[in-house]
Amino acid sequence: MKFDTAVLIAGGLGTRLYPYTATIPKPLVKVGCYPIMEILIRQLSYYGFNNIFVAVNYRAAQIESYFSSGSSYGVKLSYVRENKRLGTMGPLSIIKELPERFLVVNGDILTDLDFRKLADNHVNYSTNITVGTYKVKHKIAYGVIHSDDRQRIIDFQEKPSIDVDVSMGICAMNQVVRESIPRNQYYGFDDLVFSLLEKGDEINTFYHTGYWRDLGTPDEYQKANEEFETKEKILLCD
C-alpha cells in the first residue's frame, strides 16, 4: 500500500508568535527567506509525500493564495477549511478522503527529520499511531530538594536541567485512530493520547536525534532564524 499522504495542520491563530502573526498566518512567517510551511512542503515532497491536505482557518485565503495547487513544489495540495477552531487533531475528523495511513504534521515546526523513515517505522511495527519524539533540556526554575524517608535533606540542586522526551508535532496514523476523533469538535493531541491510553491502545514512538524546533514563540523563532543559515541546505533537502 502506497504511503504518500500527509496532513499539514495550519489553522491556528499563532497568538504565541505575536507580533509576527499580526498580519499574516503563522505558516507564512518566514525562516530565512522561506515561509515555515514552504520548508515543510519541500521536505514532504522530497520524501515522497506528494498528496498533502492542508487544514486552514485563520487567514486561510492568504495560505491558499500563496501555495495554490502546490504544483510548483511537485505536490498536490488540497485545502480543508475549518468552520471553527478544531485544534491539532480535530481537523482530521472532517477530511473524508484520507487513505488507510497518513502523516500528520504541525505547520509551525522546523526539523531535519527523515519523514520516510518515520513512515517506514510505523508500517514495520504494525501500529495504529507512531509519534515523533525529541529530547529537550527542561530548566527547573527552583532549587530542588531531595529528602530521605525521615524528611531530612540529603541533596540539593540549584535550578537543575532535566532531559525530557517531547512530541515533535509529527505522527503517522491509521484510519482507525482518525475515526475515533470526535467530528467537528476541538480536539488536541493531548486529548487523543489520553483517550488512547485510557483504552489501552498501543502508541509507538520514533525518536529523532537531529534538529528540531517548535516555532510557536518569538524566542524559539529567533533561535531558528539564527541557526537557519548553517542548516539551510539540509532543511530544504538541496
In a domain, 140, yes or no: no
pTM, to two decimals? 0.91
pLDDT grade for 30, boundaries at 50, 70 and 90: very high
In a domain, 77, yes or no: yes
In a domain, 121, yes or no: yes
Distance, CA of 210 to CA of 208 (rounded, Å): 6
Per-residue model confidence (pLDDT) at position 18: 78
In a domain, 34, yes or no: yes
Q: How many domains, in total, are found in the chain?
A: 1
In a domain, 91, yes or no: yes
Residues in contact with 55: Cβ distance below 8 Å, sequence separation at least 6, in sequence order: 7, 8, 9, 10, 11, 80, 82, 86, 91, 92, 95
In a domain, 152, yes or no: no
Mean pLDDT of 155-176: 94
Query: How far are the Cα atoms of 17, 153, 169, 201 from residue 206, in angstroms, in the given order?
Result: 28, 38, 12, 17
Each residue's pLDDT tens digit, 1-26: 789 999 999 998 777 777 777 788 88
Each residue's pLDDT tens digit, 111-131: 999 999 999 999 999 999 999
What CATH number should be reported for the domain holding residue 81?
3.90.550.10
Nearest to 171 by CA among 210, 220, 208: 208
Per DSSP, 84 falls in state S
State what percent of residues in the chain have pLDDT above 70. 100
Residue 84 lies in domain: 5-133+166-235
3-state secondary structure 40-61: HHHHHHHCCCCEEEEEECCCHH
